[in-house]
Amino acid sequence: MRRIVLWGVLFVVIVGVTAGVTALLVNIMERKREAEEATRRLIEIAKTEPDPAVWGQNWPRQYAGYLRTQESKERTKYGGSVPYQKLDENPRLKRLFAGNPFSVDYKEERGHWWSLVDVKETKREPKAGTCMTCKSGNVSQFLEEAGSPAQFYATPFAQWAAKAQHGISCVDCHDAKTMNLRISRPAFLEAMQRRGIDISKATRQEMRTFVCAQCHVEYYFRGEGKYLVFPWDKGFTIDDIERFYDEYGFKDFVHAESGAPIIKIQHPEFELFTTGIHYQAGVSCADCHMPYKREGAIKISDHWVRSPLFNIAGSCLTCHRASEQELRERVERIQDRTYKLMVRAEEAIIAAIDAIKAAKEAGASDEALHEARLLHRRAQMRWDFISAENSMGFHSPQEAARILAEAIDYARQAELAAMRAWPARPTQ
């Protein structure tokens, strides 16, 4: 009897151990297979292949993440993926951009999949081929077809729009052969070259920011051929950019009410970011906007590029020891402060516009109004640097506050200068 029990126990132990070892082996094999799958290439991909679905045959996980950039139903307090009309939510913008197409249509941005759809639909009606540069995975093909960047830019937008099929895609950030990150847009290479920076020597961590800095930047179109230029010759701060534009004698439009020569600042995420603590600590755009995630045995970068506030655990808690709630509050505290200063700046600039208009109506000459208009330009460029930047100050909180404080000061100086510009009252 004893013996039978002993054999029984032994049998159960053997079966248990065997099952355990088998399960472990199956698990290891499964993970190995998955890991192999992740690096295996089913098809060759052409150098300028624009279609993300083709790349997706080799890398289905990244492709699935990319496809989710189509989702555009959720907002955060100051960002998110819903393309609402900013002009409806903030009527001050119409006056601030009077005389510029941004007073007609100014939507919140959304995911990369949408870029081509949105640029084709905007009522700002792009004319130059240059406007396609940041919007389509077909651009690498078009650059080859055109033969040179200058030719690509000088071709009418409508011509490229008729041929373009895809929004921002794999080819914009990756080399098809090696899958390394690559720079696909000439304006970034040219601007960095002028700063003495050789991109071919960039580290992998730097590239995780530089691929984004091909598009998430301030730019202007130079000359008749609308050549795309990033205004970085003197540096990345708004003061450096202003000195560059002043020397070059550039304006985007004349303000319809004040007559000031204004620069319309575009999304300078990269430039503002370079003045912040995360950049200085070596954190990259991808660290927060494309964090690693685990799928089975495999660690991949989340290709659902979006607001990190939708995924604080993945985006922030890798480095910060705090609760999600705590971090969200820290972000929103920074953003609330920035927003309040920003509204103050808008009100101050509108007061300046009113004062310049009133002086003009009272008969002030262009010469007398010169100083006030210059100050309006300085104020508006600074306010717009923070307003058009998409993080509501988060990418560099202290710099954002500094710039807005200067914007408010310049706007009030413009108002005073306009009052001084009134013609002398006739003596009785």
What phi and psi, each to the nearest 5 degrees, are found at residue 217?
-150, 170
277 binds ligand HEC (CB under 6 A): yes
Select the span of 14-22, 162-170, 247-255, 407-415 touching ligand HEC (CB under 6 A): 162-170
Nearer to ligand HEC, 237 or 413 (CB): 237
Least separation in angstroms between CB 59 and ligand HEC: 4
34-53 residues in contact with ligand HEC (CB under 6 A) are: 52
308 binds ligand HEC (CB under 6 A): yes
Gap between the terminal Cα atoms of the chain:
131
Alpha-carbon distance values, 140 to 44, 132, 220 (Å): 17, 11, 20
Task: For residues 392 and 151, give the distance between their C-alpha atoms in angstroms, rounded to a whole number.
Answer: 36
- What tokens appear for 244 in the block? 């560059």
Select the span of 148-156, 232-240, 311-319, 341-349 touching ligand HEC (CB under 6 A): 311-319
Task: For residues 57 and 385, give the distance between their C-alpha atoms in angstroms, rounded to a whole number.
Answer: 40
- Whether 382 and 411 have beta carbons less than 8 Å apart is answered as no
The H-assigned helical ranges of 68-185 are 86-89, 92-96, 115-121, 139-146, 149-154, 157-163, 170-173
Residues in contact with ligand HEC, counted by CB under 6 A, come to a total of: 73
204 binds ligand HEC (CB under 6 A): yes
172 binds ligand HEC (CB under 6 A): yes
176-195 residues in contact with ligand HEC (CB under 6 A) are: 179, 181
Smallest Cα–Cα separation from 191: which of 209, 169, 210, 163? 210
78 binds ligand HEC (CB under 6 A): yes
Least separation in angstroms between CB 226 and ligand HEC: 17
138 binds ligand HEC (CB under 6 A): no
Q: Which residues contact 91 (CB under 8 A, 6 or more apart)?
A: none
Q: What is the DSSP letter of 112?
A: G
390 binds ligand HEC (CB under 6 A): yes
Nearer to ligand HEC, 55 or 227 (CB): 55
Cα angle vertex 71, ends 343, 104, to 5°?
40
102 binds ligand HEC (CB under 6 A): no
Select the span of 6-14, 96-104, 313-321, 411-419 touching ligand HEC (CB under 6 A): 313-321
216-235 residues in contact with ligand HEC (CB under 6 A) are: 216
- What tokens appear for 70 in the block? 């189509």
166 binds ligand HEC (CB under 6 A): no
359 binds ligand HEC (CB under 6 A): no
